[in-house]
Amino acid sequence: MAEAVVCFVSDGLEEFVNRNGEYLSEIRDQVQLALTELQLMRNFAKFVDRRQRDDVVAGIRDAAYDLEVIVETYALKVALRRKGVIQSAMKRYACMFIDRSRVRKIESKICYITNAISRSRWWLSVRTNRIEVTNRIEVPIPNYLPPPDTEHHPHPIVGLEAKVEELVMHLVENENRVISILGMGGIGKTTLAKEVYHHNAVRRHFDCLAWVCISEQFEARRVLEEILVQFISPTTDEQREEIASMWDDEIARKLFLLQREKRCLVVIDDIRKINGWLKLKVAFPPYEATGSKILLTTRNHAVASCSDRNRLIWYCEPLNENESWELFENIAFFGRNDRGSDIFGKMKELGKKMIKHCEGLPLAIVALAGLLARKKTLNEWNTVFKNIENICRNDNIEKYAHVHWMLAMSYDDLPYYLKPCFLYLGQFPEDLEIPAKELTQLWIAEGFISLAQQKQRLLATVEDVAYNCLSELVERRIVQVGKRGSVRKIKTCRMHDRMRDLCLLKAEEENFLQIVNFSNIAHKPTGKVRRLALYFDENDVVSSRSESHDHVRSLLFFGPKNWIPKSTTYILSTFKDLKFLRVLKVEYMVREVRLPTEIGNMLCLRFLSLRKSNIIWLPPSLGNLICLQTLNLDFCHSNDRTPIIPNVIWKMEQLRHLYLLYYRSSSILRLSNLFNLQTLSCVSSDFCDMSDLTKLTTLRKLGIQLSRPMQNLEELLRSASSTLNRIQSLFVKNDVGVNSHAEVMQIVLSCCRIYKLKLYGPIKELPTDPQHYPNLTKLSLCECHLKDDQMEILEKLPNLRILLLQSLSFQESTKTLVCSRGGFLRLETLSLEKLTTLEEWRIEEGAMPSLLQLGILFCNRLKTVPHGLVYITSLKDLTIRWMPTTFYSRLQEGGEDFYIVQHVPSLVLGDPWESEEAPGDVHEE
């Protein structure tokens, strides 16, 4: 990690100096000398990680970080002073003497750091017997091999088929109330449970299904609430708030009754303590006629044994020799075309020797195979083999302890630029699906991704480089993919708990980050920590910090969604005291907070997210944050408490991602200076000068809220054509009404290269020529009031994969929709939600031949599913919720329309609803 720290700090600092050199004129020589020493240190830093003492590593790391802080804060203060109000003559002369004194102090600090780096470099050059090179030597970034096409990349599930079928039989046919899958970490318990959970027979047998993961921050109330949410699938804010307001015993009782009334399956993944199970058990009734069941995965035999009298313990066994080899071969040799060569044969021999040390554990096999998949020469394979042999000669290592070493080898093999990216994942809570976009923004803000990497990889943006880093971690089997988006890009990711354990261990060794769980009073931050992740519970009360943490550069708060802290003292002190933060993330805090004016002192801040927090006031000093790259002001608030955003965002010239959903401004919000902006969501025509869009030439994602008719729109769109042609994702919300539908379509037509489009509000008609949108893959429509003949236009969109038709997508007079032969050729996902006037839906043979998923919700007048579904053999998942009871009865086995859906592997019929009136409006933000 010394190499990684030196490299990303030196690259980032060099970029900063080049961009802000005019503000460093008085200390230019000292800064340049320090930068030279730091660049020279890069030639030795890689040896530090392998052979040197911890104090040397810590010294180099701290020197690099301290230099970064000193130079950045000095330059930013000078910049703000020059851009501020011109002072009076007397004040200017007084400040000159103060500034000279401060400059001398800064120079002294930089010289001290430079000398420290120089001494460390000299010592390393002697210890490593290397000839010191005085000229700068660039450390080349390895050529990135793009990940293989996900359509053809193997996702091996080896040795599970028979186990899955037997477990399914126990769930569907036997009377065991609780089935526990027991085994050690990494043996494949969760993988097995997922295969069972998604099995066709299981999806058909049970009326309600829920899956919950037990994390380190176990709270019985949260787990039971999550199960209830999955059972009843609330779709409105009112329903969710009703569940959230229930007492603990109310939730437990509702779950208890639901499982007596219906056939329910709950999967509880990775429950490790008996007390945890006992707290949950009260919500589950004894096995009765409905046949509701529970599937547990656990490492603890005591949990499996005490789960229930009517229980079955399933022992998850390691893979046998043939299964282990099949799994290894699918990954390690994927894509190789030299399978007949002598070298390939020798690699196979080495591979078979190495996987014996994996003891049949899938996690270890996958980690080893992922490591070797990138080794293309026999010498590289031999090196890995020798390392494994050396580890396994140690007789003191317990059985299965080799897994840790296998995973550690995967980490050690990472190039320097991926190590901090990997360690950064450790601060996210266990089992959390991490949003890929946010993660890459955090990496960039931390300085892990530099312009040098962007140039050497010949990619358009640093965001592209960051995404490729994530893809490489996935390809190496270190990180797992959670969800993929409409164009197959990684949307969320996660880590196996054993891999996360390794991540936290390495992060602690490197003093890279610390996690503070305020539910554990004894666990407090120690030492000179650069990154803190704070885990809060609603019941935690933290009044103030017990010690200073001025050196913290990154602070992430993790609490339950919509959490109300007992006290905001600690949180508010963060804004006042931690002046050198680069990253601050405080989300889902619904207690009212006024941001302190002192937030303007956080001059180094690159990432600030207050998403879904109830911020009721923002200070004008926010404009001091001129280094911000990501600013998320997507608040949670009521209409009468909408905060006013001060007109200072234009000062943040480095801003790349800006989220402003539903806001008010003290004046017309100026955005024209934001030349680096890629994401703008969402600007209002009431509070923003739309002509500013013509200056935002790097914009890729745009959200517009039309609050009033726009003047001179055609002229504006012509002048902004170069910007709008680059838009990839567009959201337009029409709050003016039907008279502005032409304006909406003018905007849409100007963005001809979009691949994601969401329209909210009346438009009546779509463009008649589908070829206007050759790249469009995802389309969401809500309250658009389209004419029924517009389906003919939708079905001709050449690359449409996802279509979401929500509340009043079509006019109230629309009672019939038709999907004609040859329509929707590439559509894979279709959702019909709250089309309350729809009575008949026809699908002709040859329509939607690629459909995989179909959802029907709240379409209360629709009599049944279309007969044409019998022709769509590709359909894998059909989910129907909140429909009349007669609709369900026709589709159940023995019903008159069962033949239409009997070929669908996964059929989920949710809660029926008797009323003729549909529930409240459903809007997707």
Distance between CA atoms of residues 92 and 176, nearest Å: 83
Helices (H), 752-908: 791-794, 885-891, 898-901
570 pLDDT higher than 70: yes
Query: Which residue matches tokens 């020469």?
Result: 377
Would you place residue 402 in the very low, low, confident or very high pLDDT band (cuts 50, 70, 90)?
low
925 pLDDT higher than 50: no
DSSP state of 24: G
- Indicate if the alpha-carbon torsion angle 26, 30, 35, 36 is positive or negative: positive
pLDDT recorded at residue 541? 53
678 pLDDT higher than 90: yes
How much is the CA Rg of the chain, to the nearest whole Å?
A: 30
Residue 778's beta-bridge partner residues? Answer: 756, 802
State how beta strands 593-594 and 615-617 pair.
parallel
Q: Are 267 and 191 in contact (CB under 8 A)?
A: no
pLDDT recorded at residue 69? 83
Distance between CA atoms of residues 316 and 362, nearest Å: 12
DSSP state of 53: -
Sequence-ordered list of residues with C-beta below 8 angstroms from that of 437, at least 6 positions apart, any chain: none
Annotated domain spans of the chain = 1-128, 161-315, 320-397
pLDDT in tens, 807-866: 989 988 889 999 999 999 999 999 999 998 999 999 999 999 999 999 999 999 999 999
Q: Are 679 and 656 in contact (CB under 8 A)?
A: yes
Distance between CA atoms of residues 13 and 7, nearest Å: 10
SS3 211: strand
Q: Identify the top-confidence range among 116-125, 158-167, 213-222.
A: 158-167
pLDDT recorded at residue 125? 61
Higher pLDDT, 570 or 669: 669
Mean pLDDT, residues 642-671 taken together: 84
User: How is 99-123 classified by DSSP, letter by letter?
Assistant: HHHHHHHHHHHHHHHHHHHHHHHHH
Would you place residue 560 in the very low, low, confident or very high pLDDT band (cuts 50, 70, 90)?
confident
Average the pLDDT over each of 51-60, 70-79, 379-388 and give the range with the smallest value: 51-60
562 pLDDT higher than 80: no
922 pLDDT higher than 50: no
Distance between CA atoms of residues 249 and 804, nearest Å: 37
Distance between CA atoms of residues 810 and 816, nearest Å: 10
Which H or E element spans position 415? none
675 pLDDT higher than 60: yes
CA-to-CA dists, residue 723 to 1, 524, 727, angstroms: 41, 49, 7
pLDDT recorded at residue 662? 64
pLDDT recorded at residue 88? 40
Sequence-ordered list of residues with C-beta below 8 angstroms from that of 423, at least 6 positions apart, any chain: 1, 503, 506, 507, 510, 512, 513
Query: Which residue matches tokens 């050759």?
Result: 774
DSSP state of 431: T
pLDDT recorded at residue 154? 45
pLDDT recorded at residue 266? 93
Q: Are 319 and 359 in contact (CB under 8 A)?
A: no
> Average per-residue pLDDT in the chain?
82
Higher pLDDT, 768 or 467: 467
Distance between CA atoms of residues 454 and 694, nearest Å: 26
pTM across the whole model? 0.83
The tokens describing 689, both together, are: 């000068």
Tell me which CATH homologous superfamily contains domain 161-315: P-loop containing nucleotide triphosphate hydrolases (3.40.50.300)
Q: What is the CA 601 to chain-centroid distance, rounded?
A: 29
Distance between CA atoms of residues 796 and 784, nearest Å: 19
93 pLDDT higher than 60: no
Comparing CA positions, the residue from 261, 323, 255, 248 lying closest to residue 288 is 261
Q: Dihedral through CA 697, CA 703, CA 709, CA 710, nearest 10? A: 0
Q: Are 861 and 883 in contact (CB under 8 A)?
A: no
Q: Identify the top-confidence range among 183-197, 323-337, 745-759, 823-837.
A: 823-837
Sequence-ordered list of residues with C-beta below 8 angstroms from that of 651, at least 6 positions apart, any chain: 83, 623, 624, 626, 673
Mean pLDDT, residues 774-790 taken together: 91
Which H or E element spans position 339? none
148 pLDDT higher than 60: no
Q: Dihedral through CA 653, CA 658, CA 662, CA 664, nearest 10? A: -20
The tokens describing 491, both together, are: 């949307």
pLDDT recorded at residue 874? 94
Residue 880's beta-bridge partner residues? Answer: 856, 909
